[in-house]
Amino acid sequence: MSDAPNEPIDPADRRDASSPGHRPRGRSARARARLAEVDGGEEAYVLYFKERVYATFTGLAIVLVVAANDHADAEHALLALVLGVLGITAAGFVSDVISHLAVHQTFPVGADLVILLRVAGGAISTVITPGILLLLAWLDVMPLDAALRASSIVYIVTLGVIGWFAVRRSRLTWAKQLLVLGILIALGFAVIGLQTLAHSI
């Protein structure tokens, strides 16, 4: 244990890194500060993954309902999927705007608006690959049942990757990570069942 006297701490060093007058020292510190400024930090990532999961569940439910319909056609399937995902994305965007107004008492502008638009863009992006597959079925390039099956696989893999990523980032032990992942999978099947039932009524 060192006998050297403790050096006095400059009050300026105790300032929060997020304060306007604070300049992070070192390249890595400046990079993290810049990332937090541009991407909105952890809250932006939470919004991004939340809306992406919503859109993925919605898209998967629509695909499963269309696949269960014996008289489905590719045009109806594509329109139902695109409009359904756009609808859930728009609802999420409006919800985020209202939440921002309620908490910050101002309309989101500048970086806040960019974050919300980026979150909405991430949700909409979940329809790209399934939409292309259904478009190919509409153009008679591939059978509709094959396009729907492939779209379901894309959505299931997307949900699996998001769930695994979330669990891996946790501080739980590997056994608890497996348990949580199993619970998430079970809850995922429950959500898919409920949304499929809702869309099929």
| pTM (two decimals) | 0.71
Query: Domain range spanning residue 142?
Result: 42-200
pLDDT tens across 34-90, in order?
445 545 567 777 778 888 888 998 999 899 888 888 788 999 999 999 999 999 999
Asked whether residue 161 is domain-assigned, the answer is yes
Sign for the pseudo-dihedral over CA of 76, 78, 81, 87: negative
Asked whether residue 77 is domain-assigned, the answer is yes
Q: How many C-beta neighbours within 10 Å does residue 100 have?
A: 18
Asked whether residue 98 is domain-assigned, the answer is yes
User: Do residues 103 and 95 touch, judged by C-beta distance below 8 A?
Assistant: no
pLDDT tens across 138-174, in order?
999 999 999 999 999 899 888 888 888 888 877 888 8
Asked whether residue 30 is domain-assigned, the answer is no
3-state SS class at 52: helix
The contacts found for 183-188 with CB under 8 angstroms, 24 or more apart, are 188/57, 188/159, 188/163
Number of domains in the chain: 1
Asked whether residue 10 is domain-assigned, the answer is no
Asked whether residue 103 is domain-assigned, the answer is yes
| Residue positions counted in the chain | 201
Asked whether residue 96 is domain-assigned, the answer is yes
Asked whether residue 140 is domain-assigned, the answer is yes
